[in-house]
Chains A and B, each alone.
Chain A
Amino acid sequence: MGGSEERVVAVIMVGGPTKGTRFRPLSLNTPKPLFPLAGQPMVNHPISACKKIPNLAQIYLIGLYEERDFALFVSSISNELRVPVRYLKEDKPHGSAGGLYNFRDQIMEESPSHIFLLNCDVCCSFPLAEMLVVHRSYGGMGTILVIKVSPESASQFGELVADPVTNELLHYTEKPETFVSDRINCGVYLFTPDIFTAVQDVSSQRKDRATLRRISSFEALQPANRSLPSDFVRLDQDILSPLAGKKQFYVYETTDYWEQIKTPGMSLKCSGLYLAQFRHTSPHLLASGEGMKTAAISGNVYIHPSAKVHPTAKIGPSASISANARIGAGVRLVNCIILDDVEIKENAVVIHAIVGWKSSIGRWSRVQASGDHNAKLGVTILGESVMVEDEVVVINSIVLPNKTMNVSVQEEIIL
């Protein structure tokens, strides 16, 4: 059981630039996976979690971004965390399972016995080592991380039904209209290399059907048949759904936090969740606020070592301050992410907001929002190089890069 020959590989799907427009305006300036949560790029969090997997041989990042977008990141994270990380660019979208299959040669290079598949935009505690243990005991093709959610919100996700005793996956359906189950798919999976055979079967079946000329005109109009290319294979609809109930897949339930990071508002919430996790796992990363010369700190706060914070400022809870930011005297920051090179002048207030790189917040100005992370304008987002002039108020608004706010606004999108 788990001999020294058993190597494990982790694959993190990072997405691409034209998908995921929901992360605008922040994604106008930076690939979503590199956006910082709790002071570290989003993708760092699953990568750090992978470090805890015994016998981890390699981490692959798979996405549609250009290689140069990830080159610097990959080499620095490999050095920093002492774990080999590689970025593999898909030439076109292959679907969640097709992407894995597309790079099977690289992934199987070191003949791993197990392959983790993680989605980069998932925020959770990533209990990967525990998943590996239970997966071995189940002996199936794959184990899926699931979490219980409220019945009302379940329909936004993939709903699963599992056997309460054996934990076998019995039924899987993606975003159903009626209630099926309150257990949902977290987007974290563990597979054995058999998964590649399963994907190949789907591809071949689709190729065969495509060459069959006698599809009735009725069938041809069905959305499901509207020909997906044979190499576009979705994990949920094409693999988990059909193979549920066939003793191939099992579930592992987590009771920790879980969120999807689809919008800037959610990224603020998840940054707070990770800051709270640091309080338990790595408290040295958080600001302590001790000493006469430091600002007052409330709750969980991250401050980059190069940032300058005036001692009369009060920071937190749930605030994250990035490199070279300057926080002036008497500033109050609550539940916010302050990105690199931002200047916040005296007595300004920022509550429930994300302040973009190189922006400048004027004296006595106020940047705030309701704090509803799910609402479209529930978190105020200032893009790169936005200037908010002295005493101006920006509430529940989104401001695109390079704008100057010289009048106060509420509930607006400023292009």
Chain B
Amino acid sequence: MKALILVGGFGTRLRPLTLSVPKPLVDFANKPMILHQIEALKAIGVTEVVLAINYQPEVMLNFLKDFEAKLEIKITCSQETEPLGTAGPLALARDKLIDESGDPFFVLNSDVISEYPLKEMIEFHKSHGGEASIMVTKVDEPSKYGVVVTEESTGKVERFVEKPKLFVGNKINAGIYLLNPSVLDRIQLRPTSIEKEIFPKIAAEGKLYAMVLPGFWMDIGQPKDYITGLRLYLDSLRKKASPKLATGTNIIGNVLVDESAKIGEGCLIGPDVAIGPGCVVESGVRLSCCTVMRGVRIKKHACISSSIIGWHSTVGQWARVENMTILGEDVHVCDEIYSNGGVVLPHKEIKSSILKPEIVM
């Protein structure tokens, strides 16, 4: 089976992290974002993944070579020369997605994190016999998104309503699709929206079906949702009683610690913390609701909450970092500094406190 992952563009909402690497390579729960999806696809027998990209292909291709070998799955890139929207890239990658088997192919959005119940989706698709299946997920504020209105018993999609003013339903497009090759015949090679142009046509013909996504779902394309997404993800690890979660007297709640990270004495870590490879957390440190990326050093007595600490940064002794502070790559927060929502671009030193949310260039 084949799959396409829509990687898209510049990832500007995840700056300053995306100033250092393209968005799919930003780590989430100690793994590049896109690896979560590639592993889920590999697990159900996908043999080839096509990445639809339009930015920094060289960086992506280098990284992929490592993963191709480790995962034993074929990974190729389909590069847009102009932005093709959410459907156009499928037409561009047509030859890679169709083979003699006539099997349907998956389409995933690289910003989405979820349980990826892909096996169940294959069964759902076979059972309804339609042309296309999409996952939908329940949200609290559906009018922020595109709502999918379905027939309760069969899941057949009746219509899409973009940002509805009145309540029509609370299920939105989760960005995970399973499509028959015939869908490609409907898509021209030009900027096209799959939600606005392609799916409504298939729905009108009664051939589009929606499955409610069990488990969590999050679009982690911006820092606030990234932090919420980590909580949901770690929660799902807990539900599966995953051995990956850390245990110990200094751990509260769900915490992920890479085996090469070191944690000192007298720390209190958690809940909802991910500590990446090669990190050093010195003694007396308090971490909660935060991500600490590869190579970071947190010095003694520091306190970090609701923040993201970028690769190879350092946080000084007695520093307090909180309230959606995002440190880019190689940022050094000096001792005793307070950061309240500072967003710091790569290669900076923070020598004076940031009292209210501000961008430090």
A, B co-complexed: yes
Please indicate the chain B residues that have their CB under 8 angstroms from the CB of A21 in the complex. 345, 347-348, 361
Contact residues of B: prevailing secondary structure: loop
Which residues between 372 and 415 of chain A lie within 8 Å of chain B, taking CB atoms? 398, 400-403, 413, 415
The answer, yes or no, to whether A24 is at the interface (CB within 8 Å) is: yes
Shortest CB-to-CB span from B19 to chain A, Å, is 7
Please indicate the chain B residues that have their CB under 8 angstroms from the CB of A401 in the complex. 10
**Closest 5 interchain pairs by CB?**
A415-B15, A413-B359, A402-B10, A18-B347, A24-B361
Q: Find out whether the CB atom of B347 lies under 8 angstroms from the CB atom of A415.
A: no
- Name 8 extra pairs, CB < 8 A, besides A25-B361, A403-B12, A413-B361: A21-B345, A21-B348, A22-B361, A28-B19, A398-B361, A402-B10, A413-B359, A415-B12
Known A-B contacts A25-B361, A415-B16; A402 and B348 likewise in contact (beta carbons under 8 Å): no
The answer, yes or no, to whether B210 is at the interface (CB within 8 Å) is: no
Chain A 25-69 per-residue mask, 1 if CB under 8 angstroms from chain B, else 0: 100100000000000000000000000000000000000000000
Which residues between 181 and 236 of chain A lie within 8 Å of chain B, taking CB atoms? none
Q: Report the bound CA distance from A415 to B358 in whole Å.
A: 11
Q: Report the bound CA distance from A18 to B348 in whole Å.
A: 9
Shortest CB-to-CB span from B359 to chain A, Å, is 4
Q: Find out whether the CB atom of A400 lies under 8 angstroms from the CB atom of B348.
A: no
Which residues between 41 and 86 of chain B lie within 8 Å of chain A, taking CB atoms? none
Chain B 7-23 per-residue mask, 1 if CB under 8 angstroms from chain A, else 0: 00110100110010000
Which residues between 327 and 360 of chain B lie within 8 Å of chain A, taking CB atoms? 330, 343, 345, 347-348, 359
Q: Report the bound CA distance from A405 to B9 in whole Å.
A: 17
Subset of 13 A-B contacts with CB under 8 Å: A18-B330, A21-B347, A21-B348, A22-B361, A398-B361, A400-B15, A401-B10, A402-B12, A403-B12, A413-B361, A415-B12, A415-B15, A415-B16
Chain A, Cβ-Cβ closest to B348: A21
Please indicate the chain B residues that have their CB under 8 angstroms from the CB of A24 in the complex. 345, 361
Please indicate the chain A residues that have their CB under 8 angstroms from the CB of B343 in the complex. 415
On B, residues with C-beta under 8 Å from A are: 9-10, 12, 15-16, 19, 330, 343, 345, 347-348, 359, 361
Please indicate the chain B residues that have their CB under 8 angstroms from the CB of A403 in the complex. 12
Please indicate the chain A residues that have their CB under 8 angstroms from the CB of B9 in the complex. 402
Shortest CB-to-CB span from B341 to chain A, Å, is 13
Please indicate the chain B residues that have their CB under 8 angstroms from the CB of A415 in the complex. 12, 15-16, 343, 359
Please indicate the chain A residues that have their CB under 8 angstroms from the CB of B347 in the complex. 18, 21
Q: Report the bound CA distance from A18 to B347 in whole Å.
A: 6
Q: Report the bound CA distance from A415 to B343 in whole Å.
A: 10
Please indicate the chain A residues that have their CB under 8 angstroms from the CB of B348 in the complex. 21
Q: Report the bound CA distance from A402 to B9 in whole Å.
A: 9
Q: Report the bound CA distance from A25 to B16 in whole Å.
A: 12
Chain B, Cβ-Cβ closest to A376: B361
Q: Report the bound CA distance from A28 to B359 in whole Å.
A: 16
Please indicate the chain B residues that have their CB under 8 angstroms from the CB of A28 in the complex. 19
Please indicate the chain B residues that have their CB under 8 angstroms from the CB of A22 in the complex. 361
Q: Report the bound CA distance from A398 to B10 in whole Å.
A: 18
Shortest CB-to-CB span from A35 to chain B, Å, is 16
Please indicate the chain B residues that have their CB under 8 angstroms from the CB of A18 in the complex. 330, 347
Q: Report the bound CA distance from A21 to B19 in whole Å.
A: 13
Q: Report the bound CA distance from A401 to B10 in whole Å.
A: 9
Please indicate the chain B residues that have their CB under 8 angstroms from the CB of A402 in the complex. 9-10, 12
Q: Report the bound CA distance from A398 to B360 in whole Å.
A: 12
The residue among A28, A398, A400 with the most chain B CB atoms within 10 A of its own CB is A400
The residue among B15, B16, B343 with the most chain A CB atoms within 10 A of its own CB is B15
The residue among B16, B345, B361 with the most chain A CB atoms within 10 A of its own CB is B361
Please indicate the chain B residues that have their CB under 8 angstroms from the CB of A25 in the complex. 361
Chain B, Cβ-Cβ closest to A413: B359
Chain A, Cβ-Cβ closest to B19: A28
Shortest CB-to-CB span from A15 to chain B, Å, is 13
Which residues between 283 and 318 of chain A lie within 8 Å of chain B, taking CB atoms? none
Q: Report the bound CA distance from A262 to B345 in whole Å.
A: 17
Q: Report the bound CA distance from A403 to B361 in whole Å.
A: 16
Chain B, Cβ-Cβ closest to A404: B12
Please indicate the chain A residues that have their CB under 8 angstroms from the CB of B345 in the complex. 21, 24
Q: Report the bound CA distance from A24 to B361 in whole Å.
A: 7
Please indicate the chain A residues that have their CB under 8 angstroms from the CB of B10 in the complex. 401-402
Q: Report the bound CA distance from A131 to B16 in whole Å.
A: 45
Q: Report the bound CA distance from A28 to B12 in whole Å.
A: 14
Chain A, Cβ-Cβ closest to B347: A18
Shortest CB-to-CB span from B356 to chain A, Å, is 14
Chain B, Cβ-Cβ closest to A403: B12
Please indicate the chain A residues that have their CB under 8 angstroms from the CB of B361 in the complex. 21-22, 24-25, 398, 413
Chain B, Cβ-Cβ closest to A381: B361
Shortest CB-to-CB span from B242 to chain A, Å, is 34
Chain B, Cβ-Cβ closest to A398: B361
Please indicate the chain B residues that have their CB under 8 angstroms from the CB of A400 in the complex. 12, 15
Q: Report the bound CA distance from A403 to B15 in whole Å.
A: 12
Chain B, Cβ-Cβ closest to A385: B10
Q: Report the bound CA distance from A415 to B12 in whole Å.
A: 6
Which residues between 312 and 327 of chain A lie within 8 Å of chain B, taking CB atoms? none
Shortest CB-to-CB span from A396 to chain B, Å, is 14
Which residues between 213 and 269 of chain A lie within 8 Å of chain B, taking CB atoms? none
Shortest CB-to-CB span from B22 to chain A, Å, is 12
The residue among A402, A403, A413, A415 with the most chain B CB atoms within 10 A of its own CB is A415
Q: Report the bound CA distance from A401 to B18 in whole Å.
A: 12
Chain B, Cβ-Cβ closest to A25: B361
Chain A, Cβ-Cβ closest to B344: A21
Chain A, Cβ-Cβ closest to B16: A415
Please indicate the chain B residues that have their CB under 8 angstroms from the CB of A413 in the complex. 359, 361
Q: Report the bound CA distance from A25 to B12 in whole Å.
A: 13
Q: Report the bound CA distance from A21 to B349 in whole Å.
A: 10
Shortest CB-to-CB span from A379 to chain B, Å, is 14
Q: Report the bound CA distance from A22 to B360 in whole Å.
A: 10
Shortest CB-to-CB span from B180 to chain A, Å, is 35
Chain A, Cβ-Cβ closest to B18: A415
Chain A, Cβ-Cβ closest to B330: A18
Shortest CB-to-CB span from B103 to chain A, Å, is 36
Shortest CB-to-CB span from A87 to chain B, Å, is 22
Chain B, Cβ-Cβ closest to A22: B361
Shortest CB-to-CB span from B58 to chain A, Å, is 14
Q: Report the bound CA distance from A21 to B348 in whole Å.
A: 7
Please indicate the chain A residues that have their CB under 8 angstroms from the CB of B12 in the complex. 400, 402-403, 415
Shortest CB-to-CB span from B308 to chain A, Å, is 14
